[in-house]
Amino acid sequence: MTEVRVTHIGGPTTLIEADGWRLLTDPTFDPPGGRYAFGWGTSSRKLAGPALAVADLPPIDAVLLTHDHHGDNLDTAGRALLPGVGTVLTTQSGAGRLGGNARGLAAWTSTRLEAPGRPAIDVTATPARHGPPLSRPITGDVIGFALRWEGQRHGVLWISGDTVLYGGVREVARRLDVGTALLHLGSVRFPLTGPVRYSMNAAGAVALCGELRPHTVLPVHYEGWGHFQEGRSAIEAELSGAPADIRDRFRWLPTGKGTDVTV
């Protein structure tokens, strides 16, 4: 049995501490109030600051960056910390833009994190699509991450990345035994593009978890920004009508406080 400590810092940003490793997902540490452009005339304001400051973080071994080109996944302060971490894993296009310690992965390719005295972590990139069909040229490349190391009891730790529910994400359910799912939700929409969604909504999360059957689901990426359309209350309303064996898998992380999760 392996205990992992997960600290939700805000938005998509979490600190994952496992067997001596410290991994940071999608670092966003700017203060609230700023407006960020997302391309093609869309933008959003940051409504809440991080629960921890960069100065409060322990030394970070690796950053798991689902994509580098949107400010709600990598902002100015988050970008500034990247050179000081051991490795940045991200998309191939993102690694080309970031350079330095960034390592690019295509979907279903893998790499390994290794350090003396710690179990190696095998990291496999998983598919993600940040919007409707044919949106990739506009919204850009995104990946998720599946983490596997010796001693896991329930299966891999999977970080979905910003994605809608589509065939590529369902492929994760077919190919991987997911024990813990860190799901990016929020049902992102913009006034300019009307009902078009750019991240998973609660109904999609319920449907996906019916296929994944994970032991634990940890929702993130649902609060703190103006373009997130489904907050916790909306997600809980959807969960209230879901089968109990799915509803009971969801676990809410308090911001700024580490939560121990058995993986």
Q: What CATH number should be reported for the domain holding residue 18? A: 3.60.15.10
Are the CB atoms for 156 and 182 separated by under 8 Å? no
Q: Would you give the DSSP letter of residue 46?
A: B
- Per-10-residue mean pLDDT for the chain, 263 residues long? 90 97 98 92 94 97 98 98 97 98 98 96 98 90 97 95 98 97 97 93 98 97 97 97 96 97 93
Q: What distance in Å separates the CA atoms of residue 234 and residue 200, rounded to the nearest whole number?
A: 13
- Quickly list H helices, the chain: 76-81, 92-98, 136-139, 167-175, 202-212, 232-240, 244-247
Find the domain containing 34 and state its range: 3-262
Q: What pLDDT score was predicted for residue 6? A: 98
Q: What pLDDT score was predicted for residue 257? A: 96
Q: Is 72 helix (H, G, I), strand (E, B) or coil?
A: coil
pTM for this prediction: 0.97
- In 3D space, the residue among 263, 252, 211 whose CA is nearest the CA of residue 3 turns out to be 263
Identity (one letter) of the amino acid at 43?
A: S
How far from the centroid of its chain's Cα atoms is residue 93's Cα? 18
The domain total for the chain is 1
The count of other CB atoms within 10 Å of the CB of residue 154 is 17
